[in-house]
Structure 1
Amino acid sequence: MKNTAVAAAVVVLLAPLTACGGTAAAGGDGSTVTVTVGYQSKTINTVTAGTLLRSLGYFEKQLNSLGDGRTYKVDWQDYATGAPITAQMTAGKIDIGSMGDFPLLINAARGKQLNRPTRLVSVTGYNLRGGLNTIVTAPGSKLTSLKDLKGKKVSTSIGSAADGTLVRALQRAGIDPDQGVEKLNQQPAVGASALSAGSVDALSQFVAWPGLLAYQGKAQALYDGALLNLPTFHGVTAREDFAKSEPAVLEAFLKAQAQATDYLDAHPVTAAEKVAKATGLPAEVVYLYNGAHGISTFDPAVKPQLVAALKRDVPVLKAAKLTGDVDVDSFVDDRYVKKALGASYGKALSATPPPAASEAWPKGAGKTIAFKSPAQLLSYVSAHRDGIRAAYVPDATTGTLWFADKAVWVADGDRLLPFVAPATAHGYVLAHAGARVITYADALERAS
């Protein structure tokens, strides 16, 4: 996925590098150029620079339209995490890569350290409140709040944004993230297995793991990362030497990324199906994050809020001794995406996420149905119980989208309110006399 740990990065850096190489002329005559792109197919908030972009063929079409007399070949290299992408970039083997915010900072730090500087050139998926990261527990767990994690075993990926969410959330709950919990540094799949086996009490991970585990009935949410109200995002990084020597190629990539973004926005269900087919992830999970009202918003602009978030992330990585100081301002270089988008860049820069809405995805349908309120969605689901592929509702506090049947429901008079995590729901109940937590089945009955 999008995250990485320095230890893993070091191992990869020391391993033999066998990639096909970065931009290089084939046959020695300069007529054929290979552009190597590192991506993470299952990191579904990077799809506009990876999985979806590759399936649409937009980058290849942009390269073919350059008309510079050269023939281009794109070597798409799929990785599970950002660590090997960073390793290959700093070895000159990958030209363009995509990864999450914390790994991007490690990418910047490693590039500077090895005298192979990289630059953040665009953004893929983001959530301005931090909803892309979630802490989950096993189904039926007695843990209902962050305070319950004291003294417990928690799996995460050190150096990832999910780890950053865990650290910050524990600190806000008054728990020392180093001494108050036993933190295990594990890859997402390993942590998911550990949670199922009962060898850890909780798992803090990034998209799409929390949603996937919840959808599969293997986890329930404990903490919604959006409660931190700190942006988290994924971005595109390029080698500085590549950007300077092949600016037209990088611009072609960013134009193609913008096209893929437009496609995702115009055809969210079809895009989710494409990504699902390429990754093996359930389309219902992909849509939770990348849908019309999904947890993630896509546009390539490098927003000031996201740059500011990177700067706030640096101390977290420094405290964990994963990086030293990172000069974020010199790492960010939006000149290429500005040129690629032209007059539309200002619009992309000021774009805001769409308002949260409830959605139902009927079986066999090529589109979803949006509702003005969770209660209206429940009424529809109640009347079509055998015909619903998936139903989504936004958290009443944070707006984070979640599966309706996995949400914690609260009845407050005639209102039916969904929440991602139990602590948020209980907090609402305490603040509103007469409100109470109810089951999903009860919520459906009330809405019908």
Structure 2
Amino acid sequence: MTRLHLSTFALTALLALGAHAETLRVAIGTQDTTINTATGGALIRELKLLEKYLPHDGKYAGVTYDVQWKNFTSGAPITNEMVAGKLDFGSMADFPGVNNIVATTKAGKPSIFINVLSGSVRGSGNGIVVPTDSPVQSLADLKGKTISVPFASTAHGMLLRAVAAQGWDPDKDVNIITQAPEVAGPALQARKIEAHADFVPFAELFPYRGFARKIYDGAQANAPTLHGTLVEKAYAERYPEVVVAYLRAVIEANRLIDAEPEKYSELIAKVTGVEPEVDYLFHGPLGLQTRDLTWKPEYRKAVQTSFDTLKLLNRTDGHFDANAVIDDRYVRAAFKADNLDYEAALRNYAQLPLKANDATTGKAIAQFERVAQIWVRGEPKVRNYASPEAAFEALAKLARENKPVRAFYVQDRDSGIKLLGDQAWFARDKQGRLSAFLLKQQAQAWADKHGAQVVDFAGARQPAPLAAR
């Protein structure tokens, strides 16, 4: 895509607005509980960031803005509202985003993807959970079982790819049923289903709430996933400066949460009801996903793969070219307006960096594959530790001091994603050093290779044997 030259839109926008003052609608559909979209919705709305950037000069002089925010629990109703002409913008994942583009195009109101909000080039964010006391330890154990998932969601695509990777027939080897997360949660607790696959944040939220355990992360499918923003194409062409204003608000929301992730995780929690400890899992440094506005090749591929998978499901037909429905001119213009280097961001695949000192030694943390973190109740900032064993020593001290812990985080040694520590498996080597893993078999494979011992969270909390010190 070439860079956006806003002047090319000036004439049409001027004619649209007319010579007299006018009210211009900016209607935005959000998914607040899909917390990785917070910088494109909840934070902008709550902090009134959009109003800071909406233009008021030139052809927009005298314009009154009617900013409307509408919250939904999934992408499908946002698409319905856009088809009905009631929304101009909408945030959703790759699968529902493709459905949006297909539906709005059929309705004669085609939408386009303008930016990424958050995602993972490996697939983290989607996941599969089972009841806490289930004997299931991996996807392989779910053959012949009932797995629920919100149909046509990005998690549905992840599940189908995961099933295919097992060599299973999705119509014969597993029983896949449709269930929204608000239905799946009680169903898991009542043992009416053996497993549930879902998108952000439910594969982490349900385990955090204590009634489920994560046994599969989307990163295992190595299939990129994203949530992003769509806008009606005609609206964007008519009011490009408004689209750029929205994206500048997104940039500022990202900058704010980068600087103070705990503070804004608390705000997201107040708005969504999703606990701040889970919000931090996504938005804090070294988080589960990367907040990234740029259209990396992997994200373009995710959009195309979504269509191809939906076509295999007979849920859509025809031809689809992801590059034709992704328009990066607006986000490039927003970067330029904020003096940011889009090309540098496009090349940057790093997680939000952790710049911190070990809470025990005070030394700067330089290696991150074994980082652990503790969020102590009553403390505004998360404590950082260079290793899990240092963090476990701190946990023991906190217990002696009767200081409750809100959350304990570790980094998966294989994938680098942030995990809830009490859900993780650990491998303890002969020197007593701990490495964390999402799955028991991952920990066992690493332990076999390095002469280590596999322990669960309770075992990891116990001091290492003297021979291992």
TM-score by length of 2: 0.86
Cα displacement (A) at 1:65: 5.1
Q: Choose which of 383, 388, 393 in structure 1 pairs with 2:410.
A: 393
Of 358, 370, 386, the match for 1:372: 386
Q: Which residue of 2 aligns with 1:147?
A: 140
> Which residue identity is paired with 2:52?
K
Tell me which moved more, 268-277 or 371-380.
371-380
**Alignment partner of 2:54: what SS?**
helix
Q: Is the 8 A contact 2:376 2:406 kept in 1?
A: yes
The correspondence of residues 262-273 of structure 1 with structure 2, limited to 5 A, is 262-273=255-266
Aligned to 1:442: 459
The aligned amino acid for 1:400 is I
Compute the displacement of 1:64 (Å): 5.9
What are the within-5 Å matches in structure 2 for residues 161-180 of structure 1?
161-180=154-173
Q: How far apart, in 1, do the equivalents of 2:347 and 2:171 lie?
A: 38
Conservation of the 8 A alpha-carbon contact between 2:244 and 2:330:
yes
Out of 115, 125, 130, which is 1:122 matched to?
115
CA distance in structure 1 between the aligned counterparts of 2:192 and 2:175, rounded to whole angstroms: 12
Q: Quote the sequence identity (%).
A: 36
**Equivalent pair of 1:82/1:99 in contact (CA under 8 Å):** yes
Once the two structures are TM-superposed, the CA of residue 117 in structure 1 deviates from its matched residue by 0.7
Q: Relative to structure 1, is the Cα distance of residues 304 and 111 closer, same or farther in structure 2, using a 3 angstrom cutoff?
A: same
Quote the Cα distance in structure 1 between the aligned partners of 2:445 and 2:33. 34
**Inter-partner Cα distance in structure 2 for 1:277 and 1:447:** 40
Deviations 1:91-137 (CA, angstroms, capped at 9, x unpaired): 22100110011111111111222221111001101112111011110
The residue type equivalent to 1:61 in the other structure is: K
CA drift of 1:319 comes to 1.2
Tell me which residue corresponds to 1:405.
422
1:104 pairs with 2:118:
no
Structure 1 spans left out of the alignment, 5+ residues: 1-24
Answer yes or no: is 1:33 the counterpart of 2:24. Answer: yes
Alignment partner, residue 22 of structure 1: none
Give the deviation of 1:144 after TM superposition: 1.5
What's 1:8 paired with? none
* CA spacing shift, 1:194–1:387, aligned 2, 3 Å: closer
Contact 2:93/2:228 (8 A) holds in 1: yes
1:421 aligns with 2:439: yes
Distance 1:177 1:374 in 2: 39
Residue 347 (structure 2) pairs with residue 353 (structure 1): no
Map of 1:19 onto structure 2: none
Partner of 2:130: 137
Q: Which aligned pairs between 1:218-233 and structure 2 lie closer than 5 A?
A: 218-233=211-226
Aligned ranges 1:34-49 → 2 under 5 Å: 34-49=25-40
Q: Work out whether residues 56 and 62 of structure 2, in 8 Å CA contact, stay in contact via their aligned partners in 1.
A: no
**2:229 corresponding residue in structure 1:** 236
The SS at the match of 2:298 is helix
- The C-alpha deviation readout for 1:42-69, integer Å capped at 9, x for no partner, is 1101111111111111101212655622
Deviation at 1:387, TM superposition (A): 4.1
Match of 2:162, SS?
helix
Sort the Cα spacing of 1:112 and 1:389 in 2 relative to 1 into closer, same or farther, 3 A.
same
RMSD over aligned Cα, in angstroms? 2.1
Partner of 2:66: 73
Could you list the structure 1 runs, at least 4 aligned residues long, displaced by more than 6 angstroms after superposition.
none
Q: How do 1:158-237 and structure 2 match up within 5 A?
A: 158-237=151-230
How many residue pairs get matched? 422
One-letter identity of the residue aligned with 1:32: T
Tell me the distance in 1 between the aligned counterparts of 2:159 and 2:123: 12
Match of 1:297 in 2: 290
Distance 1:420 1:163 in 2: 21
Task: Give the secondary-structure state (helix, strand or coil) at the position aligned to 2:85.
Answer: coil
In the alignment, the residues of structure 1 paired with residue 392 and residue 378 of structure 2 have an alpha-carbon distance, to the nearest angstrom, of: 19
Q: Distance in 1 between matches of 2:255 and 2:223?
A: 26
3-state SS in 2 of match to 1:234: strand
Distance 2:98 2:230 in 1: 10
Give the distance between the partners of 2:455 and 2:168, measured in 1 at CA. Answer: 30
Of residues 144-153 and 356-365 in structure 1, the stretch that sits farther from structure 2 once superposed is 356-365
Q: For the residues of structure 1 that align with 2:207 and 2:106, how far apart are their CA atoms?
A: 40
Q: Distance in 2 between matches of 1:387 and 1:193?
A: 28
